[in-house]
Chain A
Amino acid sequence: MAKVTNSFTTYDATSDREDLANVIYNIDPTATPFMSMIGSKNISNVVFDWQTENLPSPSGTGKLEGFELSRATSTPTTRESNVAQISSRDATVSGSQDASNPAAKRQELSHQMALCAKALKRDMEVALCQNTAKAGGDATTARQTRSFEAWLSTNVSAGSGGANGSASAARTDGTQRSLTEALLKGVLQTMFTNGAEPKVAVCGPVNKGVISGFTGRSQARQMIDAQTVEASVAVYSSDFGDLKIVPSNRSRERSLLLVDPEYAKVAYLRNFTSMDIAKVGDADTKLILSEYGLEVSNEAAHGIVADLST
């Protein structure tokens, strides 16, 4: 048979300890599939904007010989904006550990920071891919970036009572219903009509299992436990192209997100930064933070099957 054995070791990403921030990206990226798959960019202000534009509707009507030009109205661009929010985690190692073995203390702090980095990335994944309205923030309220679900309005299938989000509101949840092949196909068809080409579907393990049980595979769902579903990415072929189904514990289980990674970015005002915090007692503390927001370059490139049973 093939060369595959029962154990794969894929990589050893190494770095000097002082460059700890460099390995943050390498810590369990599949636990944060949304932010790991989309691109990134740098921004220079807490409020950042970008422009989107649409082509005019196609027309097959011909022109007369020697026609006189009637100038068409230009299609204006639409200016979109979002805000960058701050997320942080910190780790502290006691002075007693320092006294017993200074090297061990550095080692312990590195490990604590690795765990913090993972926690921070999970915080960011939640902030980016779930359903949160944009909040500009003030002296008493933290800024909140408008998250992915709150952007989607073109390619949407929602349960009864569900409504799209807006610049100032998150999407309204509707009545939950079961995920079916028809629901998923319906949104893919709408996306195809609108020119979108989703490459990845991000969903919770329950609905990834449901997809395995689509028509003709009624036994499949019964045979697959959730943990097995979480251990792999499924590839499906359909009339609308290939689709990878990526399981995620950080996206909302009730939503299946259809993503074209080319049309979304994490916008960093401050990329992962670690800093020493002034001592306030017998311990050393390090802070790790990121200031970032979500740019949805064109929301019509994405889709959602919302309000699914969990």
Chain B
Amino acid sequence: MSKKISVVAHREGYNSNFITEDDVVAVQTTQDVSKVIKHAQFLGEQKAGKDFRHVAEIPMVIYEKATLEGWVNDEAKWKEWLNDRDNQVFRSWKGKV
């Protein structure tokens, strides 16, 4: 049976597709995060704000994953994510959160 894909969201580098194939429906989201990395890098090179320190930019696809997996409001999990060495490219201020 053919596979059918409908785009349900399309923003800068972010794509969410609704897919029907055989007896299964699926939602698949992908994001090109290169602009987000550049954005975080750029903010990291600027002088910090007086009262607000920019810490990181979380790609929307990761925020979506957190929403779907039920940890979007879990501050401890976010701290873990922000302090993970693999996610340092999204950090503008590199200290421990």
Contact = CB atoms under 8 A, between A and B. Distances in A.
Q: Are A and B associated in one complex?
A: yes
Contact of B72 (A3, A25, A37, A118): A37
Contact of B59 (A2, A27, A184, A232): A232
A230 B20 CA distance: 28
A298 interface: no
A156 B95 CA distance: 32
Contacts of A3: 86
A187 to B, nearest CB: 12
Name B's interface SS.
mixed
A235 interface: yes
Given A118-B8, A220-B43, A4 B52 contact: no
Nearest to A28: B9
Given A4-B86, A6-B34, A28-B8, A217 B27 contact: no
Contacts of B57: 232-235
Contacts of A219: 46
B39 to A, nearest CB: 6
Given A232-B39, A262-B73, A23 B52 contact: no
Interface string A28-42: 111100001100000
Interface in B17-54: 18, 20, 23-37, 39, 42-43, 46-54
A232 B58 contact: yes
Nearest to A262: B73
Interface stretch (A80-88, A128-136, A239-247): A239-247
Interface string A228-267: 1011111111110011101000000000000001100000
B97 A237 contact: yes
Contacts of B11: 227, 230-231
A231 B25 contact: no
Interface residue tally of chain A, by bracket?
Answer: 35 or more
A37 B28 contact: no
Contact of A217 (B1, B46, B85): B46
Given A2-B86, A10-B29, A217-B43, A231 B36 contact: yes
Contacts of A232: 36, 39, 57-60, 63
A182 B44 CA distance: 22
Interface in A5-59: 6-17, 20, 23, 25-31, 36-37
Interface of B: 1-2, 4, 6, 8-9, 11-14, 16, 18, 20, 23-37, 39, 42-43, 46-65, 67-68, 72-73, 75, 78, 82, 85-89, 93, 97
- Which 3 residue pairs of A and B lie closest in terms of their CB atoms, listed nearest first? A227-B12, A216-B47, A114-B18
Given A214-B49, A232-B57, A236-B52, 20 more contacts: A7-B31, A9-B29, A10-B29, A10-B64, A12-B26, A15-B26, A17-B20, A27-B27, A28-B16, A30-B60, A30-B63, A181-B51, A199-B75, A216-B46, A217-B49, A228-B35, A233-B63, A234-B56, A235-B56, A261-B72
Interface of A: 1-4, 6-17, 20, 23, 25-31, 36-37, 103-104, 107-108, 110-111, 114-115, 118, 181, 184-185, 199, 211-212, 214-217, 219-220, 223-224, 227-228, 230-239, 242-244, 246, 261-262
